[in-house]
Amino acid sequence: MTVLCERLDEGTRNPDDLNLIYDVLSNYRRRQMLQLLGAESDNSATIPDLASTIAAWEIDVDDPDAVSYDERKSVQSTIYQHHAPKMADAGLVEFDKRTSRLELTDRAARLGLGGDDADVDGSAGDDRKWVSSDTAAVTGALAVAVSVAATATVAGSPTAFVVLATSIVTGVITWNRSNR
């Protein structure tokens, strides 16, 4: 990930740079962490504080103090073990493992991450938007399955049965993904 920051510092722009940026920022929690850090006056926060706020957003609770220990701990562990090191490797945050504190770097500021215009209400880039897409995909797959089933019943075509089976499998997989 340090390659991302070195390339951006050098001013080069190529598809690999974009892929690295998207990789670092592809996760809802990492984007929210950057925005929360940018909203702090000193651009830093502890992982437990970040975890409480993010968990509250994820379970749709207004008060981070109302988040249960288990809900907070799950988010906190993921941040500590996965997200914070990845963001630090990208040069977007400084990560002090001893104090569990993260701080935005100047590099993150140059990329426009965090800051006063941060969306700290949890709505920007919310991964839950994909649930609506998945629901639409399942509905579409089921509509195709019903249509093909009717055609297969009338025509008795083996091809129609293959299309029906494929539609059902696709619908089940999509439904399963939307319920994760």
pLDDT, tens digit, 9 for 90 and up, residues 67-96? 999 999 999 999 999 999 988 888 889 999
Judged by average pLDDT, the poorest of 34-43, 72-81, 170-179 is: 170-179
Whether the predicted pLDDT of 98 surpasses 90: yes
CATH number at residue 51: 1.10.10
Residue among 132, 128, 150 at smallest CA distance from 140: 132
Q: What is the mean pLDDT of residues 158-180?
A: 72
Choose between 176 and 119: higher pLDDT.
Answer: 176
3-class DSSP state of 122: coil
Judged by average pLDDT, the poorest of 26-35, 41-50, 119-128, 150-159 is: 119-128
Residues 117 and 143 in one domain: no
Choose between 1 and 111: higher pLDDT.
Answer: 111
Whether the predicted pLDDT of 54 surpasses 70: yes
Residues 109 and 159 in one domain: no
Reading phi first (left if > 0) and then psi (alpha if -120 to 50, else beta), residue 104 is in: beta
Written as one letter, the residue type at 81 is Q
Residues 40 and 76 in one domain: yes
Q: How many CA atoms lie within 13 A of 130 on its CB side?
A: 12
Label residue 140 by pLDDT band (50, 70, 90): low
Segments forming the whole domain that contains residue 85: 2-122
Residues 70 and 87 in one domain: yes
Q: How many domains does the chain have?
A: 2
Residues 138 and 117 in one domain: no
Residues 118 and 142 in one domain: no
pTM above 0.85, yes or no: no
3-class DSSP state of 94: strand
Residue among 79, 69, 2 at smallest CA distance from 34: 79
Residues 138 and 115 in one domain: no
Residues 111 and 139 in one domain: no
Residues 12 and 41 in one domain: yes
Token reading at 126: 């919310």
Tokens 């190529």: give the residue.
Answer: 14
